[in-house]
Structures are given as C-alpha cells and as structure tokens.
Structure 1
Amino acid sequence: MFKEITAISKNYAIVKIDNVINDDLLNLNVIFEENNKKILGEIEEIINSEAKITFLGEFINDKFFDGIIRKPSINAKIRIINGNELAELTGYNDSTAMMLGLSPLYNNSPVKINIDDMWSNHTAIFGNTGSGKTYGVARLVQNLFTMPNYIPFNSVIFIFNNTDEYDNAFKSINSYNFNFNYKMFSTDTDSNNSILKLPLWLMSVDDYANLLDVSAYSQIMVIEKMLNYVSLFARNDEEANKYKNHLIATAITSVLYSNQVSARIRDQIFSILTSCSTKELNLDVEVPGVGYTRQFRKCFEIDSQGQFAERVLITEYIKKFIDNDTKWKEDYTPVYFTIDDLEEALNFTLISEGVLLNEKSYAEGTALKVKLHSIANSSLRSYFEVENFCTINEFISDLILVDGNKRAQIINFVLEGIDDRFAKALVKIYSRIFFNFMKSLPSRGSMPINIMLEEAHRYVQKDIDNDILGYNIFERIAKEGRKFGVMMDLVTQRPTELSETVLSQCSNFLIFKINHPADLEYIEKMVPNISSDVLEKQKSLQAGTCVAFGKMMKIPMIVKMELPNPEPQSSNAHVFDKWMIQWKTN
C-alpha cells in the first residue's frame, strides 16, 4: 500500500502509494515506524499516487504524546494504525472516560473522552442550523448520565436557552438512575413550569448596571447610592423616616435658594414631593403658622412681587427636618426589599445632593428611573417578586434541589417571551451570581458547575461592559472561572458574534458543519491551534457529525454523534404534514 517516502518537510511527509487502492485512505491515521520510534500521521490528501501525511505526535511506550521532536527518517516504514494504537487515541483504554461518539473512519469504533479534560474546561460547539448541533449537545450530556460504572451525582449543569427544546431530552433522566433529577425554570408566566426568580438583594451594583442598561460611568454611582438607600429604607423604622425627611428637606432647601425664578423653583419642589414624600413632608401636609395652618402646596403661591408669600413659613418648617449631625448608616447590607422599594430609593437618590442640581447627572439618573419604572410596571416585575428573604447559599440550594432534599443535576432556564436585551441581562446576572458564589466557597473548586449557553452569540458579546464596569462577566469567567470550578459551554451558529476573549480561552471544540466564509475565517483566526485541515474536514460533514479537537482529544477526529434518546425538540417543522391534504389518488 505505502511504497516509499519521497520527501519530508517541517510537519508532513510525501509518500508514494500503490496505483490501485480499494480503501478510502483520506483522514486515516498511519504510523511511521523505525527503531522503536513510532510517529503518528494523518493522510491529508492524495494526488497522482502520492499521499501528503501530516505529523501529529508520537507513541512512546504505547502512550500517545501530542507533537513531535524527532521526525521520521526517509527509510521509515509506514502502516495503518493497529487496534491498540486506535484504542489509545480514542480513549477506549480509559475505564473512567465517557462516550463521545463513534469514529466513522474506523468502523464506528467508540470515541471516549476524559471527564476532567472535557468538563473542567471551557468548550465551544459550532454548527449551522440543521447541522445536528443541538442533537449533538443533547447526546453529549446524555452520555455523561449513562456511564456504566460511575454516575455524575454531584454534577451541576445550568442551561440557558431561548426555547424549551432540551426539555424533552433531559426531563426523563431519572429513568437512567433514580438519583438523577432535572429542573426547568421559565420566563413564560403562563406555563406550568417554575417561573424564573431573582432576589433583588442578591444583585450587585454591576448586576443592576446590566439590568438598567447603564451607558455612563456616573450612573454607577447613582446605583450605588440607590442600593445604600434601599438597604436603610427597607427597615422602615424611625431612623429610616428621619433620613427620608432629611433628604427631602435638604433637596427643597437647595432648590429654594437656587438662582431661579419662583415659578421654576415651585415646579421643582413639587416634583420632589411628588416622587418623594413622608407623612411629615408632602404637598398636602398642614404647616403650622402663628395662629393658623396652611397646606404645604399653598405655601408656594407667588405674590405680586414674584416671591413666595409664605417663604418664611416654608423655611422654618423644613429646616427642622435637616439633620447634618447624625452619621447615617448608608452602607449596603442585603435585606429584603421589593422592586417598589427600589423605585422609591432611586427617587430619593435623584433628589440627593450632587444629583438634583447637576443637569447631566440628573438626566442620566432619570434614564435609570425610566428603565426601572418600565420593569416595575410590566410583566417583567414578576421575575423579581420573591416572597421571603434568602441568602446566596439558600438561593443556590433552591435552584439545585428538588422537593427540598433531592439534588438536580441539570437545571434548564428557558428564556422565552422576553426580548434579547433583557435575556442577555438575566444571563449575565445569573452567571455573575454563580461565579461570585463559587469564589466564596471555603474550598476552591469544591462544587464544579457548567454554564451551558445555547445561542451563545446572544449573550457572550463584546459590549460596553469593559468600558463601564471594567470587565465583562463572561470574559472574567473565561479567564478565571476554571480555578474556581466555573466552566462555560458555548453553543452557537454564529461564532463571529462571540467575544474574541472568551473564544480564545476555550480548550475544547466540537465543530459541526458550518459554511459561512466569515465564520470559517473567524474560527481559523481565533481558535487556538486550529489548522486549515480541520476546517476543510468540517465542510463535508454529514448532519450529526463533527470535528472534535482540543484538550479532550488526543488528536482531531471526525466523530459521529449517536442520536439522543429521547431527542430534543429542535427539528424543523414538517411542512408537508401540516400543509398538505390528499386531493386525488392516482
């Protein structure tokens, strides 16, 4: 079959082969053997009875090592790899490995992968619509839960998707083993599923920045003050009320003595009291004078001189609420509060010193107010309505426990019926909460989790977070997550829209058929150690077949994923069945 080596280059050899060969040799692996030296190669192309064979690595004491130091000599003998060598390359000899798929080049031999090499690293899964990508992901996870000798009882896989297509594939994992459980949370408030919930007090300043579409750094300071206020006000005690009165009185005083016409001053004070009020300071409170009382709003009637007729009465009344001596406890501590409490706190923030009379800051703060108000007065508020206070530990426990005491290994968040912007904010917030929780564990990496992002290009983008917050949560997880046990799996048909930083940190790749030239160029540019050979292979793949490479693989291999059982609901609509009725019979 193989005659002689005619040339050896930097990373490949040219080998003469027989003119008549019945076997399809392309992509098969061969051994260059000489004096106990065994170099592994792959037949990349055949032209005019010559084969170009790329060097991949070396077998030393029956173990494969990626890369080569010594090239084969011109006299080396060449043969197709044997069964033992194939078993080493496909992980067949590892009793703790999980099934990935089958090798169509080697009579559907099983291809196995090491659990740590796969699940303790970030993974990218690319493929066109219809390439079998979703089926492949479903089968990959099902394979983890159908290992014969080990069960992933302590695994935690959080899936974020915009449809419930994975529900059918995973809802019956309890049938594999009674220790397995599955949970699904949905944003569809009309469904029978558990509704996704986020406790407001567990959200950080950065979370609110994502939720409220912050566009300027000064808005961060507004959010910080808002959280300080809501923490204090939520106690609803005498100190909270005194502080509210202090803020209102201070704001009124600053406006009252500003260099504006009386009508403008009155409008601003009315605006303050419309958004922020207490039983002592509101537009309808009766203000006591000498021998009479007057409603506060009527104190701002303007006389013929263009002045407030009751200016002295106003001043004397409000100054008794200003308390510059008390050191107010403004530091934020997590307490129970509602989205209405948050709105109130933001209103008080906007009348506070340094914001009210600063036109730019007030305008930016008002943009936050409009956004928060739109959430509070829409169906979106239901996602933040949590009945009782909970700690971060209790929140995470509630996510992964079923019936209070059974552990769920797969938790599926279905983000349907909401716009992309809000969905992106939710995924960022959950991911940040997960990451911060994992960092807080006393034993680093003691509870590894995987965050699987279906349609990852909707979330993992290069956006303004780096400019506003100084970081992007997905980029931070990509760079730091593995040491804390937080891994990401990115599933997408549009890799060009992914963050370059995140993609560069992925160690494993499953590439199903993908055709768009821009995507192929981007993958070649951004994916570490990918070759043009690998990209060429995926162009001719059948549906459900991928090129697998990275840390989980000894060498890049074409892998046929078995059909998931049960299947996800991701197939195309059956148009013939739904549209057509039989009209005639021949």
Structure 2
Amino acid sequence: MNAPTLLGHVGSVAGSTVSVRQFEGVASGIAIIGGRSYRVGQVGSFVRIPQGYHDLYAIISEVGASATPVTLVDALDRGERWLTVQLIGEIVEASFERGISQYPNVNDEVHLVTEEDLAKIYGAEFSGQVIVGRLANAESIPVRLDLDKLVTRHSAVLGSTGSGKSTTVSSLLRSISAPDGAGFPSARVLLLDIHGEYASALADNAEIFRITPGVGEKQLVIPYWALRPAEILNFLCGKLDDRATTAILDKIFAAKSAIAQADNLPGVDLNSMTVDSPIPYSLRSLWLELIEPEVKTWLDQAKTQPAIIQPGDAITLRQPAYQPHTTTNSAPYQNNIGVLGIRKQLDRMRSRMLDRQFEFLLKPGEWEPDLTGHVTNDLPSLLESWIGHEKAITVLDLSGIPSAVLLDLIGAILSIIYEALFWGRERDEGGRKRPQLVVMEEAHRYLGRESDNPAREMVQRIAKEGRKFGIGAMIVSQRPSEIDDTILSQCGTFVALRLTNSTDRSKVQAALPDNLSGIADSLSVLRTGEAIITGEAARLPVRCRVTLPPKDRRPNSEDPLVADSWKRPRGPENYDELVAVWRAQDPKWKPPEVGENEGENEGGN
C-alpha cells in the first residue's frame, strides 16, 4: 500500500536537478494527512526523497508539461504529470545539513513534506538565531535566520512599493533588539532612514537623530570637517580649476596641521597626516583668507599700503571693504598677489554658509570649530552618541537633508563609521569585538551604476572588506536593477518580497545563490508581507510570512486611505501654517503658544 505522502518517483537525475514522474494515484489540489491539509505539487514547496538511513530534501521549481524531461518530448511517456525539483540538503540521523552526500536513483520514491518533516529542518533552535516570520505553508513553524551570517555576509531586502519592505526591516530589527533575553541587548545597528519612516516603529529601542528633533529625539549634526575637503569644496563652491583647488587644499592642510600640533591630538603623526585626515578647521576663517586677495586694492604701486575701508569679519562672513581700483594707472591699484580668480565661487560659498537648511553640516553645534579651528566636542563624542549609547539601534533620519548634499553626507557618515571600526577593530569598541550592522534604506538612490559618488564608494568598500572587520551591510531597495552589480553580488542573504518589474526580478534571480528559477518566478505573485528568503543566513530557501510588528510600532510608510479621506467632510484648513511648515522644513512644526514670545520679550527687557 502506498504512503499517503507519496508524490511520485524519480525519472531522471542531472546534477542537482531531478525530474519526478508523479504517481498516478495523486490527485491535484489538497491532500489531507494527519488531519492537516497540504497543497500538492506547488512551486516552492519541499519534497523528501528517502535514501535508507537518511532523507534527501528538494524544492519544486517546475510543474506540468514544461517539467517533462527533454528525452521524452516526443515519446509516449510525455504528459503533464512531471515535476522538476532542485536538491538542497539532507537529514543525516537527526540534523539537517545543506548539500548532499549522495544522489537519488531512478524510481526512488518522492514524498510530500509534512509539518513534522519541516519541523526537523526549521524547528531546531540554536543560539545566534533571530525569528523573522513563519513558513507560508506551515505557519506553526518559525523561520529563523543565522545572525552571524546575516550581518557578516551582508544581506538585501528587495521589494516593490507596497510589498511590505519597510515593515519587514522593522520586524527584523525589532527581533534583533527584543528585550527580556529574546533578542541581543548589545546589538549595534545603524539605520540610514531616507524618508523618515522608522522613528515611530523603533523609538522604544532606538536613539533617533533628526535635523529638527522632536520630543525624545536628538539633534543630527555631521561636522563638515569630517568630510573630505575636496567634497565639501565641490558642494560649497561648485566647479574649481586645478590650480585653485590645489591652493585651497594647501590652506586647509596648513590649518589642520596647526591644530594637530597645537592640541597634540592623540594618534596624529604630522609626518603622515594628509588633507583628508579628520581634523577640525574653520571654514569661516578659510573663506575670509580666500576672499581677501580677490577684493584687495593698494594705495601705492609697491603694494605696501592697503586701501582698506573696513576689515572683513569671519564670524558674520562680512566681506572686507576696499577702495575700488581705478582703470587708469593711478591709485588705488588692483591686487595681483595670491589671486585665484574665484570671486564668484566664494560668493556661492558664503551663500551656502548662510543658508539655514545647511546648518546641520556647516554649523554643527558643539562640533563647530572656532576661528582658530578648536572644537568643544571632537569625533569621539560624535561616535559615542551614534553607536556608543545603551540602545541597540540608531536611526539617522535624513529626510530633511537637501538632495544637493545627500550623497556626500551618506558617504561621510559611512566613512566615519567604517574608518573608526576598521582601525579600532582590535579594541572593545571596534568592529570585530562588537560588530556593526548598517541598514541602508532606499539604497538605489545612491548606489546606482551610472555615476561615482562618495556613498557608493563607501558601500562598495564595506561590501568587499567589511566582513573581516565586523561591519555588515543590509541593502534595502525597491529597484534592485538600479543597484551596482558589485554591491548586490556581495550580499549573501536575500529577502525578496513582491517584485512586479521584470527587470528587477531578473536581477534578483541572477543574484540568488541557489539554482531556484521557479521560486524566483513567483516573486510577482507574493502576498504583501510575504518574502522568499534564501542565502547563507537561511537554512533553506523558504517562502515566509513576515511577522507584523504591533500596529503602533509600524513604519510610517503606509499608503494614504484615499477613499476614506475623500468621503469625509472637509475640516478647517490653514494654508498659512502649511507654508510655515514648508519654510521650517519640519513636518511637525507648530506655531508658538500664545504668550511664548511675549514672555521672551518681557524676559529680555
């Protein structure tokens, strides 16, 4: 008598691909086994091939006529009752292992996998695992990921808009940082939040940094002197010729050298430091030093008596005033000493430095150097505030950062984190003894293949070298086809949600480490919040229902309820406040309470 789980028999074996002839007694649809119902012959479901003392396990990639072996295309044996399965692992005694030690033979039985079988594969619980959801076809069985491999071998969470991508990331990070022994209390996760979606989802176990912080949040500042000077000059001044760039970089290097020598900064070797060394310098002093020769005039031809009316002021960025030079050969005379011909660029630099929307970068609070280059707080306090606090997660909300400087800032943030953990890898705060996971939302915005930028350069470096130094990357994107191939190919684990674009699906399919084209083809029909997880952190490729966080702990990324909103009666609308919020660049801006300004004025009188 045939077992109720019998699906068919092996028809042919070609490497890891096995063709299975379905048993004639198997009816399509649902099989009832042990009181539970199972879908028969579904793409993505598992099968078991007994081999005496141990069992082989495979995953169904094709069903029907297209799965018919090529040798049978014109034979009488052709039909629709064929399956193509991919061998993926085996159970020897009681433990499951990826890979196989032997191949099945023709006519070996192939059985449907029951929940008891799945429990043997997925039910084993080891330290260092994190639960991300439940099996889609057996929701009593949790899906666990190996945290070591998830972090060190990098990962990618990919899915179209509305597929549940942000919720999946939030759920995963909440599982990692769960209290009461369920999670990992000393985890260290840095999330680059491009759209400001995660503050509400992770606030109970994360420090939130924002340009315009709300209650319980911290001020986000990124000191300009932590960026490469060439990048900050490009942002401030625009295009400069090589002569001017070299001259300005020389001045910056001289300023950094003076501070390093005066303050005797620990670890700085004056003989090996470069202009890119993260040492403070004053942009305001630099601007005044550069603008002076551009506007200077002289009272004498020997150029010994400046025709000055009013000196410049670096603090207020007031330009020095000189008597205008004449066009004839008479006083005042035009200056030609140290002139770089960059008056227009310096005007732009001054404009940027006075622009309030760039204050988080150009006036970084306690990290802003004085006119001599000294700072109240240095990089150690910045790093400690970002990755040295008691909570497991740091969310850097970049939603208020102008797009003109976003790529440079992401590159600067990643550079600060990577360089510190790379060079400090043998220390307790370093990457090897306390690894760091960097989660990059909307990664396609800065990891494209077309143009080089500081962010892409740093992510490539993390992807290639981070594993050895305890720095892992998680790439989150809705357009994997736009991400640089080098970066995506370094991701060892893929969490692929619904992808409707064929180009994106083919990119994921090409990057998947397992030969599972049939599963990849199902990416377009996954339900919201359902993912195919495959790669090094997963014991097996699996179709998973991601665990939803509580309703009050979900990312602020849900679609607006159009029908409900348009059906409700319109309430009062205040477009003055709408414009005020726009001008404040802060969605949470509120007008001051009545009496606040009066109280301030009274206190000042």
One-letter code aligned to 1:5: V
Q: Describe the shift of the 1:117–1:232 C-alpha distance in structure 2 as closer, same or farther (beyond 3 A).
A: closer
Query: 1:580 maps to what in 2?
Result: 567
Q: Is 2:501 the partner of 1:516?
A: yes
Task: From the superposition, tell whether residues 440 and 217 of structure 1 become closer, same or farther in structure 2 (CA, over 3 Å).
Answer: farther
Which residue of the other structure, out of 409, 412, 415, is the alignment partner of 1:429? Answer: 412
User: Residue in 1 aligned with 2:146?
Assistant: 114
* Structure 1 stretch displaced more, 82-91 or 40-49: 82-91
What is the CA deviation profile of residues 459-507 of structure 1, one whole-angstrom value per residue up to 9, with x for unaligned ones? 22235447xx898111111111121222111111111221221111111
- TM-score (norm: length of structure 2): 0.70
Which of the numbers 437, 445, 458 marks the counterpart of 1:450? 437
In structure 1, what is the equivalent of residue 22 of structure 2? 16
Note if contact 2:237-2:349 (Cα within 8 Å) is conserved in structure 1. Answer: no
Is 2:57 the partner of 1:40?
A: yes
Which residue of 1 is the match for residue 376 of structure 2?
389
Residues in 2 aligned to 1:5 and 1:442: alpha-carbon distance in whole angstroms: 52
Q: How far apart are residue 37 of structure 1 and its match?
A: 4.6
Letter in 2 for 1:398: S
Q: Secondary structure at the match of 2:433?
A: coil
Aligned to 1:539, the other structure's residue is in SS state helix
**Where does the alignment leave 5 or more consecutive residues of structure 1 unmatched?**
174-181, 253-267, 275-279, 287-295, 319-350, 357-361
Aligned to 2:317: none
1:153 and 2:188 aligned:
no
Distance in 2 between the 1:542 and 1:167 partners? Answer: 26
Report deviation, 1:5.
2.3
1:256 counterpart residue number: none
**After the TM superposition, which of the residue ranges 449-458 and 415-424 deviates more from structure 2?**
415-424
Preserved CA contact (<8 Å) 2:130 2:183: no
Q: Are residue 474 (structure 1) and residue 455 (structure 2) matched?
A: no
Equivalent residue for 2:549? 564
CA drift at 1:29: 1.4
**What residue is the counterpart of 1:412 in the other structure?**
395
1:521 and 1:399 map into 2 onto residues whose CA distance is 37
Distance (Å, rounded) in 2 between the aligned partners of 1:213 and 1:284: 26
Mapped to 2, the partners of 1:284 and 1:93 lie a distance apart of 78
In the TM superposition, 1:233-252 aligns within 5 A as none
Maintained 8 Å contact 2:7/2:111: yes
Matched, 1:225 2:250: yes
| Fraction of identical pairs, as percent | 20
- State the AA in 2 paired with 1:579: W
Equivalent AA in structure 1 for residue 459 of structure 2: F
Of the candidates 491, 509, 528, which is equivalent to residue 476 of structure 2?
491
User: 1:246-303: per-residue Cα shift (whole Å, max 9, x none)?
Assistant: x98xx99xxxxxxxxxxxxxxx9663569xxxxx9753179xxxxxxxxx9679656x
SS at match of 1:118: helix
Q: Which moved more, 1:55-64 or 1:480-489?
A: 55-64
Cα pair 2:151 2:471 within 8 Å, conserved: no
1:537 CA displacement: 2.3
Picking from 486, 499, 502, the partner of 2:487 is: 502
Alignment partner of 1:168 out of 200, 205, 209: 200
Residues 116/14 of structure 1: CA separation in 2 closer, same or farther (3 Å cut): same
Residues 270 and 283 in structure 1, CA contact (< 8 A), matched pair in contact too = no
**1:4 — aligned with what?**
9
Shift of 1:527: 4.6
Q: Is the 8 A contact 2:136 2:544 kept in 1?
A: yes
Partner of 2:170: 138
Q: How does 1:255-266 map to 2 (within 5 A)?
A: none
> Structure 1 CA distance, aligned partners of 2:245 and 2:293?
26
Shift of 1:550: 0.9
Post-superposition offset of 1:223: 5.6
Partners of 1:82 and 1:148 in 2: how far apart?
33
2:532 is aligned, of 544, 547, 552, to 547
CA RMSD of aligned residues (A): 3.9
1:191 shift after superposition:
8.3
Q: In the aligned structure 1, how far is the partner of 2:385 from the partner of 2:158?
A: 32
Letter in 2 for 1:431: L
After superposition, the C-alpha distances for 1:35-87 in whole angstroms (9 at most, x for unaligned) are 33532112233323332222222333433333345320114232234556523
Q: Tell me which amino acid in the other structure corresponds to 1:412.
A: V
Note the C-alpha offset of 1:208. Answer: 2.9
What SS does the corresponding residue of 1:546 show, helix, strand or coil?
Answer: strand
Superposed CA offset, 1:540-570 (max 9, x none): 1110000001111122110001211222222
Question: Does the 8 A contact of 2:447 with 2:455 survive in 1?
Answer: no
Distance in 2 separating the partners of 1:440 and 1:433: 11
Distance 1:530 1:223, change over 3 A: farther
| CA–CA separation in structure 2 for the residues paired with 1:530 and 1:216 | 51
* 1:195 pairs with 2:212: no
Amino acid paired to 2:256: S
SS state at 1:172 partner: helix
Contact 2:463 2:487 in 1 (8 A): yes
Q: Is the 8 A contact 2:12 2:19 kept in 1?
A: yes
Runs of 5+ consecutive residues of structure 2 not aligned to the other structure: 1-5, 32-38, 65-79, 263-280, 299-303, 311-320, 367-374, 571-605
The 2-side partners of 1:273 and 1:234 are apart by 31
